Amino acid sequence: MTPAIFALSGLALTDDERDFLREADPAGYILFGRNCESPAQMRALTDALRSLHGRDDLFITIDQEGGRVARMKPPVWPAYPAGAVFDRLYDIAPMSAMEAARANALAIGLDLAEAGVSCDALPLLDVGTHDTHDVIGDRMLGRDPARVASLGRAVLDGLLDAGVQGIVKHIPGHGRATADSHKQLPTVTVDDGALERDIHPFRALRNAAVGMTAHIVFTAWDADRPATQSPTVIETIIRRRIGFDGLLLSDDIDMEALSGSIPERSAAAIAAGCDVVLNCWARMDDMAGIAEALPPMTERARERLAAAMAPTRVAAPFDRADARAAAIAKRDALLRAAGMAA
């Protein structure tokens, strides 16, 4: 198995993709708006991927956060609020905020489960500051570490209620970054003690099954390499200090924060300790280069992948449409009770 998450070019597999992916046997897939037309179309696509590999518990993820980060869009799917809505509700009623976040995540998860998607790249556990770059902005769950952890746990629980796994991101924290890692490499220069605030939510949710790294240099830990490609950050900070032992994905390996060819970036991330690299652009040359450059997925990484996907094998034991409507109604009632709109 190739330790990579690959993307697809369109609404259905092409013949070239089918031939390549059957041979490369990636750990899983990520879907984007270009792959999302309707629940039936998405289900046909995800079923085709499962049939291609003979894996019912195939890792298939998507960025369906709500707000401005949503690949499955209205009018086909509901619009969901960004994380900042639950942060604001927490100011008024903490327990209501957690219940609303869980209900919202359940509704999102039911959309995903219907389409055959087994994993959502949510929640963000990045602790905000006054300088947090807008690339995170209203996506974050707050500026208080304990609040972020509480709301993040509610999101994970809601997704799992729908039979969908979550991904905690961006380990060890994107909140202090003042640059967009899609475009350049952010550097965080605060000392080790200050970074305790950033890693608190990840430590609190260290038993999460899947996590995603940040393409950020933390000079207190490794002044030369971003976290995704730093053995020091991955082994000493993420695995030992935070205590995260789940499946560790890189953020998109194609982002401009990283340097070198796509295969070189991927090999560096795996060598540093990532279990899997994420490649989002469905470029056949890049995917072929990654498959050639990477060693087979380690036995420990395969165990982590299997453990992460285990809850997704169980079909939701209720009517998804009714359950989604009830979850959205619950979320909206909690917001209205606090004088807020959904």
CA 139 vs. chain centroid, Å, equals 13
Query: Residue 290: enclosing H or E segment and its boundaries?
Result: helix 284-293
Are the beta carbons of 102 and 157 closer than 8 angstroms?
yes
The beta-strand segments (E) located in the chain are: 2-7, 26-31, 59-62, 64-66, 69-70, 119-120, 165-166, 168-171, 187-188, 210-213, 217-218, 247-252, 276-278
What angle is formed at CA 289 by the lines to CA 285 and CA 292, rounded to 5 degrees? 140
Are the beta carbons of 263 and 24 closer than 8 angstroms?
no
Residues annotated as part of the active site? 182, 251
Are the beta carbons of 212 and 280 closer than 8 angstroms?
no
List 30's β-bridge partners, or say none.
7, 61
Residues 6+ apart with CB under 8 A from 210: 119, 165, 166, 167, 168, 246, 247, 248, 249, 308
The pair of structure tokens assigned to 137 is: 């902005």
d(CA 289, CA 159): 34
Q: In what order do the strands lie in the sheet with 276-278?
A: 165-166, 119-120, 59-62, 26-31, 2-7, 276-278, 247-252, 210-213, 168-171
d(CA 281, CA 257): 16
Helix, strand, or coil (residue 94): helix
